[in-house]
């Protein structure tokens, strides 16, 4: 019998998007913060094995280079209640004269992310290595979600022993599409800093300098 579900990712791997789709399809309330409901739920976390890992965790992976670019924007430009502490801590750890100089600043941000991460307290490589050989985990990827979300979600639901018609999966994919959720086309960045920035694969090529490539 399907109980509660844990979806874990390194930040900016698409876990919110993918987790919400699985939540809708598996009929499990989506929980990110606060108290959990008195019924089976889906909880979205940034955690390693053994921390709310559940019996059949779903792990979201993404190209670490794209993560670093997305997390840079998230850390320095997204100023709201959810990110206030992260922005403050990151600014103290990596003081910048001009945060808008992304290409110039990325090498320092990358080094910090690997040697002394602010949040979570582990690096992307540590996250990937920790989950690599967990036999009960189902590993999905952001890249797969962008190219064939129906197939990816079908595999996740099979992992949860949940049988959902493909037509219903396609409906949920459409309901949670980047265009629907952001009001913009994929790849079009808002003039304001927002949680949903571009929704593309390979954006690191637009931001990485030679120094960034050496830092990874």
CB contact at 8 A, 109 and 99 = no
Alpha-carbon Rg for the chain, nearest whole angstrom, is: 17
Among residues 206, 146, 145, 8, the alpha carbon closest in space to that of 154 is found at 145
How does pLDDT run across 11-52, given as a tens digit for each residue?
Answer: 999 999 999 999 999 999 998 866 677 888 999 999 999 865
Give the tens place of pLDDT for each residue, 142-154.
999 999 999 999 9
- Angstrom distances, CA of residue 63 to CA of 10, 21, 128, 204: 11, 21, 11, 9
Q: Between residues 19 and 186, which one has the greater pLDDT?
A: 19
How far from 118 is each of 18, 53, 85, CA to CA, in Å? 24, 22, 10
Alpha carbons 23 and 216: distance in angstroms, whole number: 33
Handedness of CA 124, 129, 135, 140 (dihedral sign): positive
Q: Is the pLDDT of residue 163 over 70?
A: yes
**Each residue of 62-105: pLDDT tens digit?**
999 999 998 888 888 766 676 677 777 777 778 888 988 989 99
> Given this model, what pLDDT does residue 18 score?
96
Domain ranges of the chain: 5-63+125-180, 64-120+189-215
CA angle 72, 68, 200 (to 5 degrees): 95
CA distances from 71 to 12, 13, 86, 172 (A): 6, 9, 11, 26
Q: What is the CATH number of domain 5-63+125-180?
A: 3.40.50.300
Global pTM value: 0.85
């Amino acid at each position: 019998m399907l109980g509660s579900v844990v979806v874990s990712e390194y930040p900016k791997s698409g876990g919110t998007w993918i987790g919400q789709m699985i939540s809708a399809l598996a009929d499990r309330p989506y929980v990110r913060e606060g108290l959990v409901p008195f019924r089976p739920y889906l909880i979205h976390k940034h955690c390693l094995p053994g921390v709310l890992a559940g019996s059949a965790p779903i792990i979201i992976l993404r190209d670490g280079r794209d993560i670093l670019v997305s997390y840079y924007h998230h850390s320095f430009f997204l100023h709201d209640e959810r990110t206030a502490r992260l922005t403050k801590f990151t600014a103290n750890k990596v003081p910048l004269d001009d945060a808008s100089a992304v290409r110039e600043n990325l090498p320092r941000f990358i080094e910090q992310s690997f040697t002394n991460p602010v949040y979570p307290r582990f690096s992307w490589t540590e996250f990937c290595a920790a989950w690599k050989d967990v036999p009960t985990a189902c590993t999905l990827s952001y890249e797969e979600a962008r190219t064939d979300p129906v197939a990816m979600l079908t595999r996740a639901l099979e992992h949860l022993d949940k049988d959902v018609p493909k037509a219903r999966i396609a409906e949920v994919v459409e309901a949670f599409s980047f265009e629907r959720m952001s009001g913009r086309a994929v790849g079009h960045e808002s003039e304001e800093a927002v949680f949903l920035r571009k929704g593309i694969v390979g954006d690191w090529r637009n931001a990485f300098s030679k120094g960034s490539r050496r830092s990874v």
